[in-house]
Structure 1
Amino acid sequence: MKLAKLLSLCVVLATPVSAASTSLIPWQSWQESQFTQAQQQHKLILLDVEAVWCHWCHVMDNTTYQDADVARAIAQNYIAVKVDHDARPDLAERYRDYGWPATVILDASGRDIVKRAGYIEPAEMLKLLQKVAANPAPEADEPAVTTFANSADLSAATRRALLQRFWDTHDKQLGGLQTTQKYLDRDTEEYALLLASQGQKQARKMVRLNLDAGLNLLDPVWGGVYQYSTHSDWRHPHFEKLGYAQTGYLRLYALAARSLNEPKYLQAALAIRGYMRQFLTAPDGSIYSSQDADLQQGEKAGAYFALNDKQRRALGIPRVDTHVYAKTNGAMIAALTMLYSATGQAQDLTDALTIANNMIAQRQRADGGFGHDSHDVAGPYLADNLAMGQGFIALFEVTGDAQWLHRAWALADYINTHFRAKQAGYVTAVQVGKLPPVTQIDENIAVTRWYNQVYRYGGRAQDKARAEYAMRYLATPQIALSRLTEAGILSADFELANVPAHLTVVGAHSDNTAVALHQFMLRYPLVYRRIDWWDPAMGRMDNPDVMYPDLGKAAAFVCAAGRCSTPAYQVGELQTLARNLLR
């Protein structure tokens, strides 16, 4: 409560994305009527997709869009539209490959004419605007994939190629990927942790190097993770802190702390947790969207972030975007439950439950799905519903409370009804206008793995089929091999093909021995797992694929590799069983 009060004093509230009041350009928000307007006025649409936290977006607003010649060219031939990518996930996913700011010119039919990534200086922008106005012919684009894999199984050749890329793209000197921007690709790290848990020493060495390198992105004063570092090293951070990225790093470092038994990774997770509690947590416990990179928009903040806490606060606090998105909050539920499984600290679980109940009260729609913000002009979006589904299944694992499995089931049905693509995979949004939603790789990796998890916990055949439907999209070679590396597809492939290690407690949720057995299971260093806690007094298990006896007292069982253990009644016995069966 004290932290919430402190936050209310120090946070500068974010304003909606729009040009400054002195802007030379009459920016509009995205509306379908603009296509009709463009047709009637014989104009094109200039779409600027930006983010409230983005340094180069601020720079472009203050330079390029304040240039008189650029403003005249826009007024003559374009309808200027500005969109916050955090507020419109459908447009963000459509143009994600072009970064922020993304500059897109469309015609009145909704066709993309040109797409440009990043900051464009005034003279270059003027040339682009004049060229496209003179000849609005669409630039060549990659042909769309129209034929998808017939099976959810990766072909041997595709699997080999993905695995080779997993190893080849690793920066063996500095850690992370061999890219100019340094950050932790969480799918890569999770797959490396999976291999490490199976005894692969090379993967263990790789993931430790990466995780150690990622610690360079931690703000040493406030905690929290900077967006990425440039210059192909870890020493040139971009200082924005995105709420959704924080949840991913928090979950990853908590998982690594548990699976590798490494205290410094737990300390990293706790530092991220502390930052989010202090700067990105609303008074009701929900999670805000992001914190800006700049104290003064458009001015680089390296000197500011080199200061200590007192010195920073004397100058002010970079503004926080106080939008509360279901996607970020669902991801925070999953992150907090992972932290809880590593530490056993009850407050982490309490906070996760608070967020879940807030989202149910504030973001659940009348049709059962979840909206994005308090008021949405489009949607619903896959990302929000998937993140909440991931949070619900995580809560079921750490509590054994069947309500969370049932909520995950409801979202599994909702996602399949609203976001299922025509041939394979799942699309980013429900279409509400001219622009059709896209099918996105990262989201389909997450959908595949989540549907498989729901199937393993709940036993419903339709959820297995849905996981396979998403995997058919990913197993298509043109998609699987379209980017630098896609370790998440390898994780999805492994999980679909393999039954997770299954640990079960049979006993009342109020029984101290049952609690201790369950806590041991949560902390056990498994990456791919299923943990059930069945209280016989609550009735039949939702997925009784193994018929456990009620022995009249708390007991634990371990099932792996096609065999199940005898009951363990104490943590020491369970530890021995786990060591013998889960090697």
Structure 2
Amino acid sequence: MFKKLMVFLLLTLYVKAFAEGIKWLDFETGLKKAKEEKKLILMDIYAEWCHWCNVMENSTYRDKEVIELINRYYIPVRVNAEKFPDINKKYNQGGLPSTVFLDWDGNIIWGAIYLSPEEMKKKLLYFANLKKDEIKRFVERNKRKSKNKFLRLKKKLKIKNVSVSYIDKTYKYVKIKFDYKNGGFKGAPKFPKRDLAYFLILYYKFRNDKSKDLLEKTLNGYAKLIDFEEGGIYRYGVYQDWSEPHYEKLLREQAEVSILYFNAYSVLKDEKYKKYGNIILKFAKEKLFNDTEKLFYNSQGADIVDENGTLLVRGEDYFIYPLEKRREIEKRVVYSPNIEKHYYFSNNALIIQALFYSCIFNNNYKDLKIALNVLDKVLDLGFSDKGVKYSLDLDKYLLNTQVYTLESLILAYEISGNKKYLNYAERLIRILNKYYYNKSLGIYTDLKSSHFNIDKISFLDDIFFLNYRLSKALYGLYLLTYNKDYINRANDIILRLPKRRYLTTSLGYFLYIYPPLEVNIISDKKTELISKVKAVFPYWIETQLLKRKDEEKLERLGLKSFSFNTVYICNTKVCFAFIKNPDIDGIIKKLEYVFKLYKDNFN
């Protein structure tokens, strides 16, 4: 009788727990409750677009025993990785979902990514039965790891010598790691990595034509992730041949990969790469842009889920079909892939750049107007004396938001000629120097954080690549203003890039050895030359329209004006060409000549 009663009570407990589900709390509330009750925290870090987050929600977190164990022994905390990037950066375990066990002070005990119901039960029981001194040992071990990682980072950032031989060494490294059948690096999963593609573009342009084959294979591999039915690009492929994509479409990927393809088109002159850039950008404009708010939403999800997170249709059962079949599925389940209707200024700054590229390569002035409207909205809603905040709802200031906004401001000034964007860019640099420069490390970091992504978590910005991008933006600002502080700081960053971050460090060395070109056009009338010159190779060419009355700036740049229109082509060290009454063919010819000089003089 007693046994039957116990079974009945246990079943009743399970049924009640399942009916109630897991009572998730936000991070601050959960941490406070854990401290009060001296209970461990089980934290789930997820994103609305994430496929495996959907799977874990519909399997692990709806398992009766898992629910009962979490509700009995833990304080459950759920964090949206996109909404709270600071928490995500601190606690992420290498991807999404991240499953993290914390003590009641918020210290990490143990973490992983996806856990099946059976794996989760084992971990829940194991950590629930640990004694206080055992928990303390886990915490102290993790703190030591974190401290040692920081110390290793500090050692890596010492001043080094820049050399062409290091770039060539990186190319040898690429050839060893390269997947000659499918493009990109060997192994899986396969992401459309920008550092690899840009390294191969620059190596082909300035070092060795033989790298063209690797570049084209990589670009063609990335194209296997493009949704040719509705546009856009999926986040990654599960297998080495880029097959079985994870079907989420993130705004940042749409921006970054479309820009990559436009740059590839400028170098390789293959129309399909321009086509790919436009197909990807088309999705962002049609599905993610809110014309009323003048901002872009963050993503389209990998699956079809309802408002309770119930998985209705997996991505692989939807996106493999043509458009007509997809609409049939939507009609049947009365749902479509979820649009994550949140605005993040960092990703909006990226898509602004992609729209500028559309103006450059497509003469699409509608996209130029959208880009400027979105940029003005970001500046109006997000800019403060600490930089650009992360989102409308989160008053946090992250390095990536500042860097991407800075890149957008420079492009906006070049394309529109509006000096307010250059003024904003210089103001943002002053803010970066004041609040984000870490004197101890000699690089830039987040405003209030010592948590760096140096493990290449795919959707978090690598701290070294961000600093490379900042140094590149500083080169651009130097060419536009001749303020030596900009290039001095940029070079200091480059000299500190770690030796074993081959691709990122080599990109910095390209910047140092083969500096970008500046095309100064002196004319009192607006000219279409700006966009046409920029289209030659926008990744490595800055442009500026100057009027004859800008005497002070012309003097600072060391340029002379005449009664006729003129063009100066310079880099950070020397001016290569002076062109009288220029036409676009003449400018392009001179630019290609200078790029050939780069290749010939260092080979």
Q: Does 1:311 align with 2:306?
A: no
The separation in 1 between residues aligned to 2:555 and 2:110, in whole angstroms, is: 55
Q: Which residue of 2 aligns with 1:530?
A: 542
Which shifted more, 267-276 or 295-304? 295-304
CA distance in 2, matches of 1:308, 1:290: 21
Q: Map 1:212-231 onto structure 2 (within 5 A).
A: 212-231=220-239
Instruction: Say if 2:316 is the partner of 1:271.
Output: no
Q: How far has the Cα of 1:160 moved from its partner?
A: 6.5
Q: CA deviation at 1:368?
A: 5.4
Q: Match of 2:411?
A: 394
- CA 1:580–1:462 in 2, change beyond 3 Å: closer, same or farther? closer
Q: Residue 301 of structure 2 contacts residue 339 of structure 2 at CA under 8 Å; is this kept in 1?
A: yes
Indicate the percent of aligned positions where both proteins have the same amino acid: 22
- CA, structure 1 residues 464+38, in 2 after alignment: closer, same or farther (shift >3 Å)? farther
Paired residue total:
545
The answer to whether the 8 Å contact 1:254/1:342 transfers is yes
3-state SS of the aligned residue for 1:520? helix
Q: Match for residue 304 of structure 2?
A: 295
Aligned-CA RMSD value: 2.7
Contact 1:105/1:115 (8 A) holds in 2: yes
User: What secondary structure sits across from 2:427 in the alignment?
Assistant: helix
Q: Tell me which residue corresponds to 2:107.
A: 111
Aligned to 1:30: 27
Q: What is the DSSP-based 3-state SS (H/G/I as helix, E as strand, rest coil) of the residue aligned with 1:553?
A: coil
The 3-state SS of whatever aligns with 2:188 is coil
Asked whether the equivalents of residues 479 and 518 of structure 2 are also in contact (C-alpha less than 8 Å), the reply is no
SS, match of residue 520 in structure 2: strand
CA distance in 1, matches of 2:233, 2:592: 35
Q: 1:422–1:104: structure 2 CA closer, same or farther, 3 Å change rule?
A: farther
- In structure 2, the residue matched to 1:458 is 481
Distance in 1, Cα, partners of 2:166 & 2:579:
42
Residue 204 of structure 2 is aligned to residue 207 of structure 1: no
TM-aligned CA deviation for residue 190 of structure 1: 0.9
Return the match for 1:552 from 563, 566, 573.
Answer: 563
Structure 1 residue runs of 5 or longer lacking an equivalent are 1-20
Q: 1:360 and 2:379 equivalent?
A: yes
1:29 Cα deviation (Å)?
Answer: 1.3
Equivalent position amino acid for 1:335 in 2: A
Aligned residue type for 1:385: Q
**1:482-501 pair list within 5 angstroms:** 486-501=502-517
1:64 maps to which residue?
A: 60
Change (3 A) 1:310 1:532: same
Aligned CA distance change for structure 1 residues 563 and 550 (closer, same or farther; 3 Å): closer
* 2:263 and 2:538 in contact (8 A); partners too: no
Tell me, yes or no, if the aligned pair for 1:343 and 1:523 is still in contact at 8 Å. no
Shift of 1:472: 5.5
Residues 181 and 233 of structure 1 are in contact (CA less than 8 Å); yes or no, is this contact kept in structure 2? no
What's the counterpart of residue 9 of structure 2?
none
Residues 30-81 of structure 1: CA deviation (Å, up to 9, x unaligned): 21x6444323322222221111011110111111112232223223332211
Q: Distance in 2 between matches of 1:202 and 1:107?
A: 54
Cα-to-partner distance string for 1:348-396 (whole Å, 9 max, x where unaligned): 322211111111222223x2521222111x5122222221111111222
CA contact (8 A) 2:386 2:397 kept: no
- 8 Å Cα contact 1:290-1:320 kept in structure 2: yes
Structure 1 length normalisation: TM-score?
0.86
Q: Equivalents in 1 of 2:161, 2:494: separation in Å?
A: 8
Asked whether 1:581 is paired with 2:590, we answer: no
Give the structure 2 partner of residue 144 of structure 1. Answer: 149
Matched ranges for 1:166-185 at <5 A: 166-185=174-193
Deviation at 1:108, TM superposition (A): 3.1
Query: Which stretches in structure 2 are left out of the alignment for 5+ residues?
Result: 1-17, 331-335, 454-462, 597-603
State the partner residue of 1:122.
Answer: 117
Report SS of the residue matched to 2:388. Answer: coil
Q: Does 1:322 align with 2:341?
A: yes
| Corresponding letter in the other structure for 1:304 | Y
Q: Which residue does the alignment assign to 1:52?
A: 48
Name the counterpart of 2:459.
none
Moved more, 546-555 or 62-71: 546-555
User: Deviation at 1:167?
Assistant: 2.8
Give the TM-score normalised by the residue count of structure 2.
0.84
Q: Which amino acid aligns with 1:328?
A: N
**8 Å contact kept, 2:464–2:504:** no
Bigger drift between 518-527 and 386-395 goes to: 518-527
SS at match of 1:305: coil
The answer to whether the 8 Å contact 1:516/1:571 transfers is no
Q: C-alpha separation between the residues in 2 aligned to 1:498 and 1:349? A: 30
**1:92–1:235: structure 2 CA closer, same or farther, 3 Å change rule?**
same
Contact 1:192/1:204 (CA < 8 Å) preserved in 2?
yes
**1:4 maps to what in 2?**
none
- The farther-off stretch of 309-318 and 155-164 is 155-164
Distance in 2, Cα, partners of 1:23 & 1:86 = 27
CA offset digits 1:462-501 (Å, max 9, x no partner): 33343345445533x4xx44xxxx4122112221344322
Residues 448 and 467 of structure 1 are in contact (CA less than 8 Å); yes or no, is this contact kept in structure 2? yes
Would you say 1:373 and 2:391 are equivalent positions?
A: yes
1:508 and 2:524 correspond: yes
After superposition, the Cα gap between the structure-2 partners of 1:263 and 1:355, relative to the gap in structure 1 and judged at 3 Å, is same
User: Which has the larger helix fraction?
Assistant: 2
Correspondence for 1:12: none
Task: Map Cα deviations across residues 197-218 of structure 1 (whole Å, 9 max, x no partner).
Answer: 1252222211111111111111
Cα 1:436–1:394 change in 2 (3 A) is same
Shift of 1:126: 1.5
Offset at residue 442 of structure 1 (A): 3.4
- 2:78 is paired with a residue whose SS is strand
Partners of 1:324 and 1:26 in 2: CA distance: 27
Confirm or deny that 1:336 pairs with 2:394: no
Secondary structure of the residue aligned to 1:566 is: strand
Structure 2 residue identity aligned to 1:176: G
Q: Secondary structure at the match of 2:580?
A: coil
**1:467 pairs with 2:490:** yes
Return the alpha-carbon distance in structure 1 between the equivalents of residues 555 and 535 of structure 2.
24
**Equivalent residues of 1:193, 1:527 under 8 A apart:** no
Residue matched to 2:530: 518
Alpha-carbon separation, structure 2, partners of 1:242 and 1:544: 45
For 2:390, what is the secondary structure of its paired residue?
coil
Distance 1:38 1:462, change over 3 A: farther
Name the residue aligned to 2:295: 286
- For the structure 1 residues 442 and 38, does the alpha-carbon distance in structure 2 shift closer, same or farther, using more than 3 Å as the test? farther
User: Partner residue of 1:15?
Assistant: none
Contact 1:331 1:387 in 2 (8 A): yes
* C-alpha contact 1:304 1:312 (8 A) present in aligned 2: yes
Name the structure 1 match of 2:456: none
- Report the secondary structure of 1:537's partner residue: coil
Task: Choose 101-110 or 567-576, whichever is displaced more.
Answer: 567-576
Deviation at 1:443, TM superposition (A): 2.6
How many angstroms apart in 1 are the aligned matches of 2:20 and 2:279?
39
1:115 maps to a residue whose letter is: G
Deviations 1:282-332 (A, max 9, x none): 123321100011123534222321333233234333110111110111001
Distance 1:283 1:172, change over 3 A: same
Give, as a single letter, the amino acid of the residue that structure 1 aligns with 2:389.
G
SS, match of residue 26 in structure 2: coil
Q: Which moved more, 1:353-362 or 1:496-505?
A: 496-505
